Chain A
Amino acid sequence: MTSFHKKSLSLSSINGTKLKNNLPYISSGIPSLDFIIGGGLPVGGIFLVEEDVLGSYSRVLTKYFLAEGVVCKHDLFIASADENTEEIVKELPQVCTVPSDEKVNELSSSEMKIAWRYEGLGQVESSFGSNANFGHNFDLSRHIGIDTINNCNITHCRLEQNENNLNSFKNDLYYTLLIKIKEGLIKEEYNINSKNKNILRVCIQSLGSPVWMAMDCDHDTNITYGQDLLKFVYCLRVLLRSTNAVGFITVPSHLFDDDRIMKRLLYSVDNAVRIESFAGSSKETNPVYNEYHGLFHITKLSAVHSLVPFIPPSLDLAFKLRRKKFVIEKLHLPPELQESSEREQDDITAIPKTCGGFKKKDIDF
């Protein structure tokens, strides 16, 4: 035995975290999302999700993030101005105990007889993070029991407008929320140097939605539009960065008519993704996308405590939501299985005119 002990070992003692670059990372609740953003969400950082138009998938992401927190016994702070946060907590999915379908399909060890040349090749896998043992999968059809929820340390923050005159913010919702987060962070557990550490998952749903913007728009000029939102996110970044807390924000960016707001917001956050759901768009019926529910865009990846940012294997990503899994995959075209009827000899319209045939353009319908 030597007396040498790696200093970083003490840091990894928080439940549900892993160390990377001397910084704890937590899981977002979706193993494939953790993989594409470089191993999870860095503690002290902000993760931003640009909501899909109907907001249904971003809501699922929020639920996964919170459910993962419940499973890992992290503390939760949930804020929303649009809906009752207690309703969100009631619908948190339960963790899957049964191994997922993919694990059953173990690689067969038998030798290939015909296509033996392909034996040495690794299995092509378009979905990410399925063999990582960090994070959990959740079953959306079953909800976490109320007893478990009650045992968790959850802070609800229901925000309501007050007519306060503030120097720092025009919209007092932002100020109230910042103060509440600051009060929540006072606990010794969230101090990075404390011995008995725990993670605080700060989740803000639909930040900057019309309820938040209403006060911003009161003024005569349009110049200040979105300013409070930018200020809030920056202040949140400063508040969180030296603590054991992680910010998870969903923003309905499709409602902003000024796209500069989003570009400037991205500068203040650490990682950001955008969900583009096919629901209600023309892509819903496009055969290319029929395997997926939407596209998944990575809009920002930053290197925290390191110079080199994570490079995901692909930026063409799509997602599908199954009952027991939210899968993010490399977008690929569906296999061509049907026999095509487009062959020239089958097409009666392609017979040359000289043989009594007719041209396509002669057909009226």
Chain B
Amino acid sequence: MTSDLLTSLQLDKTFDSSRIIVVKELNGCDSSFITSCVLGHCVKNKNAVFVISAHHSLQHYHNVGLKMNYNLQKSVDSGIINFYDVGEVITNSILDNKCLTSQEIWLKIKEILLEMHKKFNSVNVIFDGVSHLFDLQLNIRQVNEICKELIDLIRSLSNSYLILQCNVACDDDITYVLANLLSHKANTLAEVESLSSGLSADVSGHLNIKYLSNKYENEHRYIFEPRSAQYLFKLFDRGVKLLAPGTV
């Protein structure tokens, strides 16, 4: 039930170069289903993943994974998936009355990523809850710096992808600015948005995918505005179903 999503994010294809996928969470929508689907895909194909999480815990992803028929904890134990809880690291430093600088945070991430890269040929990275860095009193410059360094590093490593999940609190907030900064560097932008009219049992929300990097490719050279793919999605315990608008 996850193949539709993986196809639309082009994660089932192999590319020569690395790719950046930015997920914008609008209107209070939770995009953790994308992480769970991607993790499931990677566990089954034995691809190495480095999860930097500031929002959900490993326990959450593990329990979701069990319902989706994969065991995340087993993969973490075997070392193919590395789960780095950046939120916990920063919180512990705050409780010790210390303040980690953005540089220290980045260096730790870089160290783990490079170590994984030595072991595995390609390492995919998922950064869950980038906007929480603002809650921890990092400013836009520092957050952008961490993301920029991460994007540059991923681009230098071939054949991997980076998924950045960024929550947008509202239009005039700093999280919106960050989401736009990240989208500017993204190859693919996925906007997940919960229904503005309320909650529905039939549809969980809107998914709008823009293939921003298409404009640099030969076949799309003469297209002024690249077409975006619009879907409705419905979440199930075992995955996510994409629906074309109007077909519910």
Contact = CB atoms under 8 A, between A and B. Distances in A.
Interface string A256-270: 000110011011100
B62 to A, nearest CB: 9
Q: Which 9 A-B pairs have the closest CB atoms?
A: A305-B63, A263-B169, A234-B135, A168-B94, A238-B91, A230-B135, A264-B169, A235-B91, A307-B235
A309 to B, nearest CB: 7
A267 B95 contact: no
Given A182-B95, A267-B167, A260 B87 contact: no
A267 B27 CA distance: 11
Interface stretch (A68-76, A127-135, A296-304, A352-360): A296-304
A22 interface: yes
B229 interface: no
Nearest to A175: B97
A308 B236 contact: yes
B200 interface: yes
A263 B167 CA distance: 11
A256 B198 CA distance: 25
B78 interface: no
A185 to B, nearest CB: 11
Contact of A231 (B33, B137, B201): B137
A22 B63 contact: yes
Interface string A305-327: 11111011001000000000000
Interface of A: 21-23, 166-169, 175, 178-179, 182, 227, 230-231, 233-235, 237-239, 241-242, 259-260, 263-264, 266-268, 300-309, 311-312, 315
B93 to A, nearest CB: 8
B170 interface: yes
B98 A234 contact: no
B173 A260 contact: yes
Contacts of B198: 315
Interface residues of B, number: 46
A266 B237 contact: no
A231 B66 CA distance: 32
A179 B95 contact: yes
A19 to B, nearest CB: 12
A311 B202 CA distance: 10
Nearest to A192: B59
A191 to B, nearest CB: 13
B95 A264 contact: no
A36 to B, nearest CB: 11
A305 B59 contact: yes
A304 B60 contact: yes
B104 interface: no
A268 B204 CA distance: 20
A343 B88 CA distance: 68
A23 B169 contact: no
A304 B55 CA distance: 12
Contacts, number: 111
Most buried by B among A235, A301, A307: A307
Contacts of B137: 227, 231
Contacts of A266: 28, 169
A227 B136 CA distance: 8
B91 A234 contact: yes
Interface in B22-60: 28, 30, 32-33, 36, 55, 57, 59-60
27 contacts: A167-B98, A168-B94, A168-B97, A168-B99, A231-B137, A237-B87, A238-B87, A238-B91, A241-B57, A260-B170, A263-B170, A266-B169, A267-B132, A267-B135, A267-B169, A301-B199, A305-B59, A305-B63, A306-B237, A307-B32, A307-B36, A307-B64, A307-B68, A307-B235, A311-B201, A312-B199, A315-B199
B9 interface: no
A166 B32 CA distance: 34
Contacts of A227: 137
B135 A307 contact: no
A302 B30 contact: yes
Given A230-B135, A309-B235, 16 more contacts: A166-B97, A234-B87, A235-B91, A238-B88, A242-B57, A260-B173, A263-B28, A263-B173, A267-B169, A305-B59, A306-B67, A307-B237, A307-B239, A308-B236, A309-B199, A312-B199
B203 to A, nearest CB: 10
A308 B199 contact: no
Given A227-B137, A264-B173, A308 B60 contact: no
Interface string B123-156: 0000000011011110000000000000000000
Contacts of A304: 60
B136 A234 contact: yes
A48 to B, nearest CB: 13
B98 A168 contact: yes
Nearest to A181: B95
Contact of A234 (B59, B132, B200, B236): B132
B199 A239 contact: no
A22 B73 CA distance: 15
B160 interface: no
Most buried by A among B60, B200, B235: B60
A234 B236 CA distance: 28
A231 B94 contact: yes
Nearest to A298: B199
A43 to B, nearest CB: 11
B169 A305 contact: no
Contacts of A260: 169-170, 172-173
A88 B55 CA distance: 33
